[in-house]
Amino acid sequence: MKVATAYDIEEIRAQFPILKELVHGKPLVYFDNAATSQKPRRVIKAESAYYATINANVHRGVHTLSTKATEAQEAARETIRRHINAKHAHEVIFTSGTTASMNLAAFSLGQLLLKKGDEVLISGMEHHANIVPWQLACERHGAVLKVIPITDSGEWDLGAIPGQARNDIFGEKTRILAISHVSNTLGTINPVKELIAQAKKKGIITVVDGAQAIAHLDIDVQDLGCDLYAFSGHKAYGPTGTGVLYGREELLNEMPPWQGGGEMIDVVTFEKTTYAKLPFKFEAGTPHIAGIFGLGEAFRWMEDYDKAAMAAHEHMLLEHATKELLAIDGLRIIGTAKEKVGVISFVIDGIHHYDLGTLLDQQGIAVRTGHHCTQPLMERFGVSGTTRASFACFNTIVEVDAMIAAMKKAVKMLR
């Protein structure tokens, strides 16, 4: 049940124990949420409670603890189904994160669909986890990886795909479209629904990397119309080592397994193996059961709040931070799309992002520096890396101002 009160930032912050920590004697200001979000106390308790009170394997025993573990894991699956509006709980596949989900998708779809000369279309802003698995699949099957270029503002340039006519985004041999919903580096919210609709008209399978979208946007996989949608738990207030691949039932039934072992089988003989029904066909081995407990609790926690109010709060932080950052001499924001989540990447003339990040850390400010697993995107903008501040529902204007003050102090030291 959603909390109907006004957005109470102090009430929300009180639920995150790590926010009381000091870093180098200064109050922690955590602006690295695009890398991993912090966890509310009830998520931490849920994971701990599994080990303390249940700790049994799922689906493999008739004893009481195993039954409790199984029921709780499947309750988490149903929570996530509801949250993303999947038709069926068995369309929710548990993985170890977005990277595992994308590797599953690339391996299995490659086996199912790709042959020599076929094409996979991605974009120039993709995380390495949505580049390398498709490169591997293309190498295995003799397919070709094509890339949607990126504009100077950090948006798709759909009219400039190499080898394509301006009025045709897809080629005759395009079999798979794999795109990010939100850029982890630029914060750009991509018009995935519109592109998916065009792809569907041509029978192209669509895969969406939702790692950066899941905590900030309302995700409705049926409304989006995608075939597969991947995300991690740890970027949505849940545990590390947890993730999901949503898949349309009909497609998942066609896709071959990508890992073999226990749980994903029906009958095994030395001559042949038949596979379990969904979702277990894709869940070989013992899962991260405690993490799934925490993952389900993270989604229930998010559902207790108005996600639109959370998004509005984060957008306020984004606007304020953007205004204050641009007042710093020599600072340039990389990624100025009209539609963004609370992510800002920037460079400052004459200052290395690593040096800036180090000095900010000395003042208690946690930001990310580097290429953010988007090296081709860095090359597109002609930089080796950026400093990235990324906001969550628990961050405040006061923290943004603390970062700005710390940056001004750091810039003076570095120039």
Find out whether 375 and 39 touch, Cβ atoms under 8 Å: no
Find out whether 294 and 47 touch, Cβ atoms under 8 Å: yes
Say how many C-beta atoms besides its own lie within 10 A of residue 159's C-beta: 13
Find out whether 101 and 129 touch, Cβ atoms under 8 Å: no
**CA nearest 91: which of 208, 236, 222?**
222
Inter-axis angle of helices 41-49 and 289-303, to 10 degrees?
150
Say how many C-beta atoms besides its own lie within 10 A of residue 231's C-beta: 29
Q: Residues near 324 by Cβ (< 8 Å), separated by ≥ 6?
A: 400, 401, 404
Between CA 196 and CA 178 the distance in angstroms is: 10
Structure tokens at 41: 């106390």
Between CA 400 and CA 322 the distance in angstroms is: 10
SS3 200: helix
Find out whether 296 and 75 touch, Cβ atoms under 8 Å: yes
Residue 255's identity, in one-letter code, is M
Residue 270 half-sphere exposure, CB side, CA atoms within 13 Å? Answer: 0
In order, the DSSP letters of 319-349 are HHHHHHHHTSTTEEEE---SSB-SEEEEEET
Between CA 372 and CA 392 the distance in angstroms is: 18
Which residue shows structure tokens 């914060």? 187
SS3 362: helix
Say how many C-beta atoms besides its own lie within 10 A of residue 56's C-beta: 16
Is the C-alpha dihedral spanning 259, 261, 266, 269 positive or negative?
Answer: positive
Structure tokens at 244: 């999901």
Catalytic residue from among 138, 226, 373, 393: 373
Between CA 6 and CA 83 the distance in angstroms is: 22
Q: Is 373 an active-site residue?
A: yes
Catalytic residue IDs: 373
